[in-house]
Structure 1
């Protein structure tokens, strides 16, 4: 990235993490977390996303960095919410074939937080036919395979086989890209790269395809003021073995910074004070995921060289039609 973009990304990372830290209590688990009819998307999902993003921040920043120190403290806070892993063991008893506890646990495991008792119990279930035959979207299956690896469990399927069944794995016509496929695509890359840590995990044919088409897709969705998906696409760009030319992405950081609310939160869609059809009117619910994704994308981008060395060429022209529904699994 360019030096100017690096400064803007650093500022966005700082304000996003400060907002998340100020709202750390909103990520706390309550009694609903173990309820039979509990709302997973309101309990485990936010906590898992907090853990995953903070795990990446600590992995991609140096210990003296204030971003690293604050993210590490938030990771400790999130781990305590799980009873230092004990709640995962209890969830294993209540819902042995649910995959979301393992997906959330894997985010902690990637940062060194482990609960041997839970891992032993999860490994037993993962050896069953019932676990292997659970019907899932292909992108979710990739996430489960990555969660198994992170948790010390032998993956129940080969990654290339699962990848071939995803939208991205088929290298579809670029004009068919829309919101639902966009969220699926970003999570395929996150799972292949262990959430931005191993760019070489993206096969060359997919990396070339993404490097060519990410810039126009990103422009389209930022024009539509879909900041959440825009952040995820920027995170994908920073996760590729060879990111797109820096000048093709530079304007995106300016647009994201301008979309922030005075509090530092980034709304999922619309303007800083605007609403959209899915808005609740409550800042945490409307902004926590997109603010985490802004932090995620910024830190991954800052971890790459300031000048990538990629040849500068014009981005291809493409008109994409926003639409569909986003969200992928426990850490979507």
Structure 2
């Protein structure tokens, strides 16, 4: 990573965190959080994504970093929204076989915020055949296995088996990449690396495949102004044992910075605000609807934090050589869009 890349990523991260702090209350759980007909994607999902990003960032920046109080404050806010974990126990009683409560809880548990009663209850449900046999797409199953591990629940499956059934795990033809596959592959890498805690979870064949094909996929998404997916791909780039070429990252961060509004918000898709790209929304305090920019703004923070963080101690000096790309054609899988990849994500 060059100093130019680090500076650009840091500026994007600082501005995005400013926007997230200013809109913290939009992540709050409403009265419908426990309703039978509640919209999970509009309640628990945003909160879980906030928790996951803040948990990762707080673990990757040094204690002296001036951004730490902001990140810690957002994480504490999210934990308080759950009644310090008590709401997970109530959700367990209402929806015992739903996996999203455990997936959200795992984000907090990874930061050391735990609720012993919920973990004990979740462990009981996880021992049932009903839990083990819940039908899920492979990427989602990979996430649930990781959530179980982080929450102290014995995993109900093996990572290696779930991985090889995912789109990325099959090393598909690169021209079959499209939006749904892109969101699926980014989440596979997030799960394999424990959301940025290690780069050694990506198998060598997948690392080689991504190192080769991630740059053109990233360029395609940036050209299409798919900022949300571009942020996720930048997070993947920062999660690999060997980073893509510095020129690729510098160009990507420059283009992403141009898409960032002066408020710090980044739209999921569409308009940009630098002088070379007009027209766009008029500058203002609320340039986008919250649902149209909160996830991409969070992912910008996540990608920037991984890009600028010092190497992890477990990975420092132990970088594995990337083998030659081995081509293994396989049939592509259909995946749901980002909202179907689980909570958080």
TM-score calculated relative to the size of structure 1 = 0.91
Counterpart position of 2:299: 293
Q: 1:223, 1:282 → 2: CA distance?
A: 21
How far is 1:282 from its partner? 4.5
**Deviation digits for residues 83-105 of structure 1 (CA, Å, limit 9, x no counterpart):** 00000000000000000000000
Check the 8 A contact 1:227/1:268 in 2, yes or no: yes
Q: 1:56, 1:325 → 2: CA distance?
A: 23
Counterpart position of 1:284: 290
Counterpart position of 2:233: 233
Q: 1:325, 1:291 → 2: CA distance?
A: 18
Counterpart position of 1:108: 108
Q: 1:239, 1:282 → 2: CA distance?
A: 29
Aligned CA RMSD, in angstroms, stands at 1.9
Q: 1:326, 1:56 → 2: CA distance?
A: 19
Q: 2:61, 2:289 → 1: CA distance?
A: 28
Counterpart position of 2:92: 92
**Aligned to 2:134, what secondary structure does the other structure show?**
coil
Superposed, 1:181-200 pairs within 5 Å as 181-200=181-200
Q: 1:283 to 1:272 in 2, by over 3 A?
A: farther
How far is 1:66 from its partner? 1.7
Gaps of 5+ in 2: 274-279, 282-286, 312-316, 322-335
Q: 1:44, 1:330 → 2: CA distance?
A: 8
Counterpart position of 2:134: 134
Q: 2:320, 2:174 → 1: CA distance?
A: 22
Counterpart position of 2:40: 40
Q: 1:272, 1:288 → 2: CA distance?
A: 16
Check the 8 A contact 1:238/1:304 in 2, yes or no: no
Superposed, 1:246-285 pairs within 5 Å as 246-272=246-272, 274=280, 282-285=288-291
Once superposed, which parts of structure 1, at least 4 consecutive aligned residues long, lie more than 6 Å away? 308-311
How far is 1:271 from its partner? 1.1
**Deviation digits for residues 264-323 of structure 1 (CA, Å, limit 9, x no counterpart):** 100000113758xxxxx8531111000000000000000156xx9999xxxxxxxxxxxx
**Aligned to 2:67, what secondary structure does the other structure show?**
helix
Counterpart position of 2:61: 61
**Deviation digits for residues 207-239 of structure 1 (CA, Å, limit 9, x no counterpart):** 010011100100011000000000000000101
**Deviation digits for residues 123-143 of structure 1 (CA, Å, limit 9, x no counterpart):** 000111100000011100000
Counterpart position of 2:343: 330
- 1:79 corresponds to 2:92: no
How far is 1:326 from its partner? 3.7
Check the 8 A contact 2:215/2:248 in 1, yes or no: yes
Aligned length: 314
Superposed, 1:118-157 pairs within 5 Å as 118-157=118-157
